[in-house]
Structures are given as structure tokens and as C-alpha cells.
Amino acid sequence: MYFAALLARTEDGWEASDTELDDVETLSDLTDLAREASVDEDTVLVYIEQEDAWFGVLRVDGEEDPRIYVSDASAAARSSYGEILLTDELLGREPGAEDEIAALEELVDLDGTEDGEPDDPVSDAGSAGTAVAEPDLDQDPDAVPAGPLGDLGVLADLGLSEKDLLTLRTDALAEIADALGAAEVLEAVR
């Protein structure tokens, strides 16, 4: 179960609305959605949560690059909405590296065997006594770290410190809205 909300800062305070993410496929789409809700290019927060698994906050300030925080990157990576927030930059990967690796894997047989060779060199009669190198599982470049990822200071100037952000678990949106002074407007749309 997912829930998404937009909080847009105005000169009169915060305006809240729940939002549908059905047409959102990329971070750019999500950023555009936030900018459309902006009044005079002021701050807009997009909050996304998957119940009891993870939550993410996207902050857009005018035309600046969006700032992102995700409470549990590995849980978010298993979610279509989480994948939107987990950009290559956020994960510390070269942009497009995942696409290049997938393309190479399609072109090359990466298990190290030639066509017609046995997959297990130890079972081959001619290879008795040969050492087989084990793959280094600790260096998986596609692994997504467990735990929080992103801009810990995304809400610091709005009243929620980095330390407080890291301690949020269940009902994080209510605590964020409370820190922003937007609890009442959020409750009206929830």
C-alpha cells in the first residue's frame, strides 16, 4: 500500500494534497509534478511511503535540482516508486552504467565458458587439481545499500534535523508535517 502527498509552501503557510503517481515514471516526471504545485517557485515536498517498509522525500525549490532522501534504499529498490527516487547519482553510480552492463551481458557470455565447455571445471576430467576462483560477492556494483540514503539535511531548514529524520520510522509523514507546522492541512487531505 502506497501513499503520496504534496506539501507546497505558500506565503500563507503550507498547502497539502494527496496525489496520484499513476502517470509518474521518472524522477523528471515527479519533479515536474512538484513544480506544477509550486506557488511563486517556492518549496514543494513530495512524500511517498510504502506502508511499514520505507518512505522518501523529494524537495523542489524553484528551478534548483531536486533533493532526495529515502529512509531505506534497499526496500525502496524493490518498489516501482522507490526506483524513481533511487537515481544513479544518489546511488553513487555512473549515469547509464547499469544500461551499459546489461547491454554487455547480452552480447557476451559472462560465465567464462565457451560453447560446448562444461560449466563446472572441477567435473571436467582434464582439470583435476585446478583451482577455481570464487566470485567476489562483496563488490557487487549493482547492490543497493540498506538503510537511509540521500540528503539528510533535506528538511533541516524547515524544522526537522538530520538526527530526527534518521529516527523516523512509522507514521513519518505526520512527524514531518508536525515539524513543518503543516499537520492540520495534511490531516484534511489524508
Categorize the per-residue pLDDT at 180 as very low, low, confident or very high, splitting at 50, 70 and 90.
Answer: very high
**Residue 18 predicted with pLDDT over 60:** yes
Q: Residue 95: helix, strand or coil by DSSP?
A: coil
Report the pLDDT averaged over residues 35-63.
92
Report the pLDDT averaged over residues 54-61.
96
Write out pLDDT tens, residues 100-158.
555 545 555 555 554 455 554 444 444 444 444 443 445 555 678 889 999 999 999 99
pLDDT for 123 equals: 44
136-139: long-range contacts, CB 8 A cutoff, minimum separation 24: none
Which residue do the cell numbers 565447455 mark? Answer: 117
- Residue 43 contacts residue 59 (beta carbons within 8 Å): yes
Write out pLDDT tens, residues 72-113.
999 999 999 999 999 988 988 877 655 555 554 555 555 555
Range from 48-52, 54-58, 114-118 carrying the lowest mean pLDDT: 114-118
Beta carbons within 10 angstroms of residue 142's beta carbon:
11
Handedness of CA 150, 31, 5, 161 (dihedral sign): positive
- The model carries a pTM of 0.75
